Amino acid sequence: MLVPLATVLFPLRSADRPVLSGPEEVLDAPPFRLHYTRSGRDAPPDTDEDGDGVPDLVTTYRDALLHAADDYAEEGWRPLVTDGGAAGADDIDVYVQDLDIFGYATPVPLPDGTASCHLRLDPGNAIGGSIAAAVATHELHHCVQFRYTVQAATWLYEASATFEQYSHVVDPVLELPVGVLWAQWLDGGETRLAATDGRHEYAAFVFVDHWMQRRGADPDRLPALWEALAEPEPEPEPVV
Give per-residue burial for 18-47: e unless 16+ CB within 10 Å, then b: bebbeeebebebebbbbbbbeeeebbbeee
What's the pLDDT score for residue 107?
Answer: 92
Report the SS3 class of residue 116.
strand
The model carries a pTM of 0.88
Q: How far is CA 159 from the centre of its chain?
A: 11
CB 196 within 8 A of CB 9: no
CATH number among 1.10.287, 1.20.120, 1.10.390, 1.25.40, domain 24-230: 1.10.390
Q: Which residue stretches of the chain are H helix? A: 56-74, 130-146, 154-168, 175-187, 200-203, 205-213, 221-230
**Cβ contacts of 159 within 8 Å, gap of 6 or more:** 201, 202, 204, 205, 207, 208
**Domain residue extents for the chain:** 24-230
pLDDT digit string (tens) for 36-90? 999 999 999 999 999 999 999 999 999 999 999 999 999 999 999 998 777 777 8
Determine the Cα–Cα distance for residues 92 and 137; give it in Å rounded to an integer.
14
Of 121, 123, 115, 118, the closest CA to residue 136 belongs to 121
What's the pLDDT score for residue 6?
Answer: 46
pLDDT digit string (tens) for 155-191? 999 999 999 999 999 999 888 888 888 787 778 777 7
21-47: average pLDDT: 96
